[in-house]
Amino acid sequence: MSNLAGARRGHSLVGMAVVDPEGIEVGYVSGEEPNILVLGEGSGGRMRLGRRYVSGVADRITLSGPVAQIFTGLNVVDSDGEFVGIVRDTNEAEDVLDSFIVEDEQGEMVNVLLEDVRSIDEWVELSVSGDSLYEKG
């Protein structure tokens, strides 16, 4: 039984902050689904986060490691299901996760804003097309 399953016991996680062990905020829980936390508010709008990244629940939900570590290496696909690249690093602004630095197939580094991320689980799924990432300059 995982920590999360034991910690739930009928208590809603809605409204709780989701942070990494270093205090970097990813968002606030706005809904729950099996194996998924739906995050709302924050810089990301609405985003689905796999519970696989959660290590504990107390006064807030703590992720299993620093965001730069746990998300680095994930594949990134766009809204059309096309491969965009691989997460290489993260950017934080005032202790809030702001964006991912993604290396595309040509080796170019692209900044992907958290607001353009639809879900993070086995991979990162974007809510925009890959082409639009380059239009933001």
pLDDT of residue 9: 47
Copy the structure tokens of residue 30.
């706005």
Q: Quote the mean pLDDT of the chain.
A: 89
Res. 20 pLDDT band, cuts 50 70 90: very high
Read off the pLDDT band of 114 (50, 70, 90). Answer: very high
The answer to whether the CB of 68 falls within 8 A of the CB of 59 is: no
Domains observed in the chain: 3-64 (2.30.30.240), 68-135 (2.30.30.240)
Model confidence at 6, pLDDT cuts 50, 70, 90, reads very low
* CA torsion, ordered 30, 32, 35, 39, to nearest 10 deg: 0
Selected residue with higher pLDDT from 65 and 42: 65
The reported pLDDT for the residue numbered 40 is 86
pLDDT in tens, 80-94: 999 999 999 999 999
The Cα-based distances of 32 to 15, 35, 78, 85 in angstroms read: 11, 8, 24, 28
Q: What is the mean pLDDT of the segment spanning 93-102?
A: 95
CB atoms within 10 A of CB 125: 19
Q: What pairs with residue 27 in β-bridges?
A: 18
Q: What is the pLDDT of residue 7?
A: 46
**Please, which pLDDT band fits residue 136 given cuts at 50, 70 and 90?**
low
